């Protein structure tokens, strides 16, 4: 059997990593005089490692976290007010097992989304199922015509271990949108963790969702087991923009 035939058979039985690196694997086995057992052990190691990597890639794609700055680049001294201890506990993922919620409340540009994305990324890396969506994306996704499709999507939002809902309050919605968001919060109540970012205090949510009767109950369930972190300060983006302008002015 030729090497190409063998690689094809390996692919058919889903030993993809072995098939793709077959020539190198056989060359190393010959050079190092591996036994049959050593060769099989190396094949198994490569397959496990490759499948773990593919699984991680799939979960990252499903989470849709997008680009973000790591917390190593986060300037904890920039905000005037921030509860670092609570945030670091969330970055260690401890509250997820407790099905708690994290509400990051603050004006635009203070780092809410950065913190939420870092928590989501850490959860994915730890093997947990994660979805990261903006509020508008989530509501748009659930605003489908098919009741059956909506139920399937609600089940998905309800069963992941960590759901991150970004930018609640940045746009105004109708009462139907509030009901959809309530359905998600209700399904996860005491059964799944939520990280939510918002620029509006809860007393102002009636302005975000005018005439919505579900707001009071939704906030009650959202806050029942929650850490609310208020972040006060100026915009990081504005600071970076001003720093870039200053650098350009100083460039000869």
pLDDT for position 244: 65
Contacts of 75 (CB under 8 A, 6+ apart): 236
14 φ/ψ sector (left φ>0, alpha ψ -120 to 50, else beta): left
Phi, psi of 197 (to 5 degrees): -110, 140
Q: How far lies 115's CA from each of 67, 103, 132, 193, 231, in Å?
A: 12, 11, 12, 15, 11
Give the architecture (CATH level 2) of 71-239: 3-Layer(aba) Sandwich (3.40)
Span of 12-21, 55-64, 127-136, 188-197 with lowest mean pLDDT: 12-21
Per-domain residue ranges for the chain?
A: 3-62, 71-239
Interhelix angle for 215-224 vs 175-188, to 10°?
Answer: 30
Instruction: Report which secondary-structure segment, H or E, holds 193.
Output: strand 193-198
Instruction: Report which secondary-structure segment, H or E, holds 249.
Output: helix 236-250
pLDDT for position 242: 65
Determine what percent of the chain is predicted with pLDDT higher than 70: 93
**Mean pLDDT, rounded, of the chain:** 91
Write the pLDDT tens digit of every residue in 105-150.
999 889 999 999 999 999 999 999 999 999 999 999 999 989 999 9
Alpha-carbon gap, residue 248 to 252, rounded angstroms: 8
Write the pLDDT tens digit of every residue in 36-49.
999 999 999 998 98
For the beta sheet containing 101-106, the strands, ordered from the edge strand earlier in sequence to the opposite edge, are: 130-134, 162-168, 193-198, 101-106, 226-231
Residues in the chain: 252
- 227 forms beta bridges with 102
Reference 71, options 53, 57, 54, 91; nearest CA is: 91
Angle subtended at Cα 237 by Cα 235 and Cα 239, rounded to the nearest 5 degrees: 75
Tell me: pLDDT of 190 over 60.
Answer: yes
Give the distance between the most distant pair of CA atoms in the chain: 76
DSSP string, 103-172: EEEESTTSSHHHHHHHHHHHHHHTT--EEEEEHHHHHHHH--S-HHHHHHHHHHHHHSSEEEEEEETSS-
Better pLDDT: 40 or 239: 40
Q: Which two tokens stand for residue 113?
A: 């989304």
CB atoms closer than 10 angstroms to residue 100: 18
């Amino acid at each position: 059997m030729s090497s190409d035939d063998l690689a094809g058979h390996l692919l058919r039985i889903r030993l993809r990593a072995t098939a793709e690196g077959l020539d190198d694997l056989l060359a190393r086995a010959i050079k190092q005089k591996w036994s049959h057992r050593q060769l099989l052990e190396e094949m198994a190691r490569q397959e496990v490692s490759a499948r773990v990597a593919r699984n991680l890639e799939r979960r990252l794609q499903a989470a849709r976290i997008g680009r973000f700055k790591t917390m190593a680049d986060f300037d904890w001294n920039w905000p005037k007010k921030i509860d670092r201890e609570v945030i670091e506990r969330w970055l260690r993922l401890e509250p997820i097992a407790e099905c708690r919620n994290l509400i990051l409340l603050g004006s635009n540009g203070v780092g809410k989304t950065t913190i939420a994305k870092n928590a989501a990324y850490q959860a994915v890396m730890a093997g947990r199922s994660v979805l990261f969506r903006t509020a508008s994306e989530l509501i748009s996704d659930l605003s489908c015509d098919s009741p059956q499709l909506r139920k399937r999507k609600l089940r998905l939002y309800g069963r992941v271990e960590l759901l991150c809902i970004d930018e609640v309050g940045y746009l105004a919605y109708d009462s139907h949108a509030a009901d959809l968001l309530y359905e998600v919060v209700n399904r996860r109540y005491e059964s799944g963790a939520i990280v939510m970012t918002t620029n509006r205090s809860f007393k102002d949510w009636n302005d975000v969702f005018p005439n919505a009767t579900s707001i009071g109950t939704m906030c009650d369930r959202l806050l029942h087991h929650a850490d609310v972190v208020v972040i006060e300060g100026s915009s990081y983006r504005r600071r970076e923009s001003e720093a870039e302008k200053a650098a350009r002015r100083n460039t000869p």
